[in-house]
């Protein structure tokens, strides 16, 4: 038997550790290649860790609720066809010891996967070996669309890619930029405040995600100088247009057309107009983001919050935006998001109007510098200006609440940005084709 070390795989940019939430296999259980062995939770999403090999689980090195770093060995799996795991007796002669050592090294080479640590994705040893033999780089392998569970690349996927490689142009892949380490600031230790508990009170421990949300919200308030700007927007034309096209849209696309993608489109346009809102802060440096990746705060059924990200939102038309919003929203509610779905956001939008709130003062999603809250749409009396004079009419209006980081965003920029979003919404074309 050969021993294979099951390690915690890389799960996406900035994910450095995970908490073990459940072991799906026990010591002594037989495991198939790509079969899930345990469930883990990161600060973003929950996921499963599959085995890269077939064999028998012999050791579990961490227990439920233990925090494990990426790359740490979490379990030992015995596989068939390797060198004996038992130590050679001390009485063995030097040549025999050397032979055993050589056999162990061969077993390690068979069990250990190729070094693909530069990739954020999980690949089975077989796929890695095929890629190595065919001279396929990590960057090129990352471009292959997988048909396996959670989009993993299977043996068939890579063989099909190799077969068709000569007939298809290979997209150039930019080399990853070196990571810039952010200076660490030590925050003063918070002092516990005694809480009065009466006899009839119930004490409930926060779940893991609520603890993380609590931690991040406090850190954000302590990090950023939060300032808010509010603006009222007339969205009457948008409401009328959506009422006119939503049934035909759903029939044609198989997707519901909500207000959210319309607002996200306006935000993406405004970020292109004001690129200094699409930045992050790293210590004393400003990082200007090339891509516009919109975070979409979503409430979960258990009352917690998660922020999936629409990548390159400015490159999507309204149909693509609606599909992205619906897909991420549905998978968030079903607990099917992948770690990469919550990574890389450059600006965040939260819809507080879903719960009837007129406006709010949202907390910035670090290390971003702005977040926009969408208020409830309401029918209100308003002054309507016409060439014949002013009159009072019923209009559909809402508030946009913009929180931004005053360390790097002044009032002129913060206010101009949210005003531009409002301008795009109020200028909506009632005859727009979709």
Q: Which of 180, 176, 430 is nearest to 284 (CA)?
A: 180
Straight-line distance from the first to the last Cα atom of the chain, in angstroms, rounded to the nearest whole number: 61
Question: Cβ distance 352 to 214 under 8 Å?
Answer: no
The count of other CB atoms within 10 Å of the CB of residue 215 is: 11
Question: Cβ distance 423 to 411 under 8 Å?
Answer: no
Question: Cβ distance 372 to 267 under 8 Å?
Answer: yes
Q: How far are the Cα atoms of 189, 194, 201, 202, 203 from residue 198, in angstroms, in the given order? A: 28, 13, 5, 9, 10
Active site residues: 406, 410
Q: Give the pairing of strands 347-350 and 370-374.
A: parallel
CA angle, 339 as apex, 337 and 345 as ends, to 5°? 95
The count of other CB atoms within 10 Å of the CB of residue 261 is: 24
Query: The sheet that has 30-31: what strands, in order across it?
Result: 2-7, 73-79, 55-60, 30-31
**Which residues contact residue 114 at a Cβ distance below 8 angstroms, ignoring those fewer than 6 apart?**
125, 128, 129, 131, 132
Q: How far are the Cα atoms of 14, 133, 172, 241 from residue 309, in angstroms, in the given order? A: 14, 35, 24, 27
Q: In whole angstroms, what is the distance from residue 308 CA to residue 326 CA?
A: 11
Question: Cβ distance 238 to 262 under 8 Å?
Answer: yes
Question: Cβ distance 105 to 59 under 8 Å?
Answer: no
Q: Which of 347, 350, 342 is nearest to 42 (CA)?
A: 342
Q: In whole angstroms, what is the distance from residue 15 CA to residue 69 CA?
A: 9
Q: In whole angstroms, what is the distance from residue 363 CA to residue 220 CA?
A: 7
């Amino acid at each position: 038997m050969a021993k294979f070390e099951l390690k915690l795989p890389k799960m996406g940019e900035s994910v450095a550790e995970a908490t073990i939430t459940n072991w799906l296999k026990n010591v002594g259980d037989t495991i198939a290649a790509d079969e899930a062995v345990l469930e883990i939770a990161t600060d973003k999403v929950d996921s499963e860790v599959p085995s890269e090999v077939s064999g028998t689980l012999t050791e579990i090195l961490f227990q439920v609720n233990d925090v494990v770093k990426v790359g740490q060995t979490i379990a030992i799996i015995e596989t068939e066809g390797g060198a004996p795991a038992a130590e050679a007796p001390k009485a063995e002669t030097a040549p025999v010891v050397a032979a055993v050592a050589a056999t162990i090294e061969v077993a390690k080479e068979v069990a250990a996967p190729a070094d693909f640590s530069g990739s954020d994705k999980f690949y089975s040893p077989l796929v890695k070996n095929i890629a190595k033999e065919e001279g396929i780089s990590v960057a090129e392998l990352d471009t292959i669309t997988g048909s396996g569970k959670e989009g993993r690349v299977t043996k068939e996927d890579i063989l099909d890619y190799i077969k068709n490689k000569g007939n298809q142009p290979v997209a150039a892949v930019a080399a990853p930029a070196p990571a810039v380490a952010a200076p660490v600031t030590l925050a003063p230790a918070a002092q516990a405040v005694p809480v009065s508990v009466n006899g009839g009170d119930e004490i409930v421990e926060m779940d893991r995600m609520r603890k993380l949300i609590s931690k991040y919200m406090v850190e954000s308030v302590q990090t950023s100088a939060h300032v808010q700007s509010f603006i009222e927007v007339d969205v009457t034309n948008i409401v009328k247009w959506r009422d006119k096209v939503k049934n035909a849209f759903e029939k044609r696309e198989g997707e519901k057309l909500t207000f959210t993608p319309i607002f996200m489109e306006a935000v993406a346009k405004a970020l292109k107009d004001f690129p200094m809102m699409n930045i992050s802060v790293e210590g004393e440096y400003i990082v200007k983001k090339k891509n516009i990746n919109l975070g979409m705060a979503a409430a979960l059924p258990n009352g917690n919050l998660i922020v999936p990200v629409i990548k390159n939102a400015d490159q999507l038309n309204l149909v693509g935006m609606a599909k992205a919003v619906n897909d991420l929203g549905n998978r968030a509610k079903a607990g099917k998001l992948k770690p990469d779905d919550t990574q890389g956001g450059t600006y965040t939008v939260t819809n507080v109007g879903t719960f009837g709130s007129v406006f709010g003062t949202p907390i910035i999603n670090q290390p971003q510098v702005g977040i926009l809250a969408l208020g409830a749409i309401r029918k209100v009396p308003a002054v309507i200006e016409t060439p014949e004079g002013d009159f009072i009419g019923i209009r559909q209006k809402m508030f946009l609440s913009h929180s931004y980081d005053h360390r790097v965003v002044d009032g002129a920029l913060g206010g101009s940005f949210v005003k531009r979003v409002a301008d795009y919404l109020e200028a909506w074309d009632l005859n727009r084709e979709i």
